[in-house]
Amino acid sequence: MDMFTPDNVKDILSRVREADKAAIFEGNTQKPLAIQVVTLALDTAQLSTNPYRIGFPFKSVYVQSATDSGVQVNLRPNSQESFQGSLPLKLNDAFSMAQPMASAFLDWTAQSGKSITLVFLVNAEFRPGSTVSVSSGGVSINSGTAFTQTNTIVNATATSLLASSTTRKKGTIINNSAASIFLGPSAVTATAGANQGLELAPGGSYEWTNGAQLFGIALAATGATEIFVMEET
């Protein structure tokens, strides 16, 4: 085990402080690149054989925004060759490396009307997550800062319960009626077919933590059914 003397410690800490002062001086005089923001339109496919090149070094990348939660691009660090695996990136994803990457290559499938914004950090890591509030008696996790609530009528035609959203934290559906409804995509059906919905029985509730649009439908024999919907943002 290494033994330190007061002089050793003073000398080591002095060098650390000098490095910090040098970094501050560089920031004031050289203004080195620290953060780079790239927004991409994804209407046209960018193949892995002809990727979009990120031509500057960075240590981490964060998906700041996207048209919806289904938007995706793939990142290959340092090389576009097939030996290099790719990392899928979606809304709120973050990726960091211990050492800076010299460059990266992005590819994606055609996603009409979609876009994505990536934030690249040259010398720092980014760790997105929920806000944690520490208060007397414990820890609470905030899942949003606002909410709306509505009563929606569902019948035998697919009805939108929650719109597509990039800011929604959670949606809650409560079936206050005396008959089941069925949840799913715009082509959702009640009892059969490839798009048969998830049944929500009378008195049941369902939490939707997805940014995509959610629809509901009732059996034709049921008639109009009132559903309570709460959306947290």
Q: Sketch the domain layout of the chain as residue ranges.
A: 33-127, 143-232
Higher pLDDT among residues 222 and 24, named by residue: 222
In contact, 83 and 121? CB cutoff 8 Å = no
For 105-147, what is each residue's pLDDT tens digit? 999 999 999 999 998 888 766 665 544 444 455 555 566 778 8
Say how far apart CA 99 and CA 232 lie, in whole Å: 38
Model pLDDT, residue 192: 79
Say how far apart CA 98 and CA 102 lie, in whole Å: 13
Establish whether domains 33-127 and 143-232 are of one fold: yes
Question: Which of 77-81, 91-95, 198-202 is predicted least confidently?
Answer: 77-81
**Domain 143-232: assigned CATH number:** 2.60.120.770
For 152-209, what is each residue's pLDDT tens digit? 999 999 999 999 998 888 899 999 888 999 999 999 998 877 888 999 999 899 999 8
**Prediction pTM value:** 0.46
Model pLDDT, residue 20: 64
Model pLDDT, residue 130: 44
Model pLDDT, residue 51: 93
For domain 33-127, the CATH class is mainly beta
In contact, 119 and 61? CB cutoff 8 Å = yes
Q: Is the pLDDT of residue 19 over 70?
A: no
Say how far apart CA 9 and CA 166 lie, in whole Å: 51
Helices (DSSP H) in the chain: which residue ranges? Answer: 6-29
